[in-house]
Structure 1
Amino acid sequence: MDPHLLRTYVVVARLASFSAAARELGYTQSAVSQHIAALEQDLGAPLLTRRPVAPTRAGERLLEHAGPLLLRIDAARAQVAALVGAVDEALTLVAAPTALTPRTLRALPPTGVTLRVLPRADVPGAVATGAAPLGLVDGLAAPSDPLRLTDVAPLGVRGVDEEPVRVLLPADHPLAHRTGLRLGDLADARWLDAPGAGLPLDQLRAAHGGGGFRPALRYEGTDVRTLTALVATGHGLVLLPESAAAAPGTVAVPLTEPRVVHRTELLYAGAPHGPAEVFAARLDVTRS
């Protein structure tokens, strides 16, 4: 299967238009049509209906594989290029918002750093494809257990921080006076769905071992201050690491059950070198 043709197919399917895909890719519409026809011939199945443009059943199945396949190819290209490229004199770091804990921030060098805050799900792909040599990702885990990360490419993983988690509630919430809360008692509460900024609701469901945790509002940004402001104004609850769970108009109550922590891990493609190696070493020092 030609990755070049596969990329064209993904764009056509996403835009539901051959002409729009041609404009985005910089091809003629005829070239896009030829790419799709060649891919369909190679796979022996129609991938798109033409009016309207939409994936067939076979096309939908191909889309499920296309993203990981193309990401693996990009990751391989980036890692090969890194072996022959010059060592950067600056550090580029990608991180989920709540992975920037006091410990990880203290480890940053005083100069020469570019920090990019991304939605949590985008961090592994950014490291795998060479957008940054290092990434910080976080989530819920049992104490000392590794995170369950999406397998986008072979990546090195190192645990760098663990801290307690807190349920953030409005100051006038009926449970705000509690000294501790059990996750199971909150399954039917109003929650904020903030996969880029807060701890994702699917991780809460997994920790609880059941359903519930239906979102009252979805926030698609990465600004933790906006997220806590939504809590303060009564739009829903959110689970945050202890270091991030402090905001005007809110109360942060410890989670007592189940026994989970907020875990932060360092991701890297190949052994860190140069400024990335220095940062990784500083993380080890701040942890000890």
Structure 2
Amino acid sequence: MDPHLLRTFVAVLEHRSFSTAASVLGYTQSAVSQHIAALEADLGTRLVERRPVTATAAGTRLMEHAPGLLLRLDAARADLARLHDTRPSRLTVAHTPAAFGPAVAQALERLHHAAHPLELEVRVLGREAVIEEVLTGRADLGLVDGATAPSDPLPLPDLGPTTTLAAAEQELAVLFPDGHPLARRGSVRLTDLTQAHWIDAPDTAIPLDRLRAVCRADGFRARIRHRGTDLHGLAALAAAGHGLAVLPMPLAAALPGVAAVPLTQPRLVHRTELIHPANPTEAARQLAELVADRRPGPQRG
């Protein structure tokens, strides 16, 4: 299966348009049509309905595999490129909004003083984007966060030849508006809040599908959807009564207009994990060692 044809196939279905896919990929529309026809001939089945542009049953099934296949190909290319990296003083860190805690900031400061000069770039992204940045070599190291049982790893997808280690574990809290009846509670149970209004903010707060999974219950219905990485915007929505959200306690307690109430049941923690390739750059390797020195924890590869 030609990856160039597969990329064209993904672009056509993502944009629901042959002409838009052609513009995005830098091809002519006729070239895009030829790519799709060639891929269909290779696989022996129709993949895309032309009018309107939609996936066939076979195309839908292929779309379940295609993004992961293309990402692993990009990851392999980046892995080889790192063998010839001639910029040991460059470090690009991608992280989710709630993943960049004091331990990592202090480790970066120590590394910055140890490496002269260190060209440092920090990017705030969603969870899937952080993983993609690391696998494709656009970031040297990533930090992702989520909710899990104490000392358990995060439920991450298959990352291929990468190393993951714990960077921090913190208490979780539910964000309530200051005037909410539960805002002055000493603690709350997540299972008591399944029918409350929630903010669906998968890249800033703990995702609602994760809350459903750990409680093994339906509910946690979104009253409003928040897309992006703006924590203060999320706090403003919570303060105005649009819904609840779950964040790490130190971060939640510092946000204005909301009350951060500790979450006691089920027994969960906010966990941050550091991800880097199996053959990291020197700066990424040093930062990972500094973080590991500050926060011992199990590694997985």
Q: TM-score, normalised by structure 1?
A: 0.96
CA distance in 2, matches of 1:53, 1:91: 42
Match of 1:53 in 2: 53
Does the CA-based 8 Å contact 1:71-1:152 persist in structure 2? no
Q: Deviations over 1:199-248 (max 9, x none)?
A: 11111111111111001111001011111111111111110001111222
CA distance in 2, matches of 1:88, 1:28: 40
Match of 2:288 among 255, 274, 280: 280
Poorly superposed stretches of 4+, deviation over 4 Å: none
Match of 2:106 in 1: 106
Matches for 1:233-248 after TM superposition, within 5 Å: 233-246=240-253, 247-248=255-256
CA distance in 1, matches of 2:145, 2:36: 39
Does the CA-based 8 Å contact 1:125-1:152 persist in structure 2? no
Match of 1:156 among 136, 160, 163: 163
Q: Which runs of 5+ in 1 are unaligned?
A: none
Match of 1:214 among 218, 221, 230: 221
Say if 1:287 and 1:174 are closer, same or farther in 2 by CA, change over 3 A. same
Match of 1:201 in 2: 208
Q: CA RMSD in A?
A: 1.3
Q: What amino acid sits opposite 2:148 in the alignment?
A: A
Alignment length (residue pairs): 288
Q: What amino acid sits opposite 1:270 in the alignment?
A: A
Match of 1:118 in 2: 125
Shift of 1:263: 0.5
Q: Check if 1:270 corresponds to 2:274.
A: no
Q: What amino acid sits opposite 2:104 in the alignment?
A: T
Say if 1:104 and 1:15 are closer, same or farther in 2 by CA, change over 3 A. same
Identical-pair percentage: 52
CA distance in 2, matches of 1:112, 1:17: 41
Match of 1:231 in 2: 238
Shift of 1:84: 2.3
CA distance in 2, matches of 1:151, 1:210: 26
Does the CA-based 8 Å contact 2:166-2:292 persist in structure 1? no
CA distance in 2, matches of 1:86, 1:188: 54
2:151 alignment partner, SS class: coil
1:234 alignment partner, SS class: coil
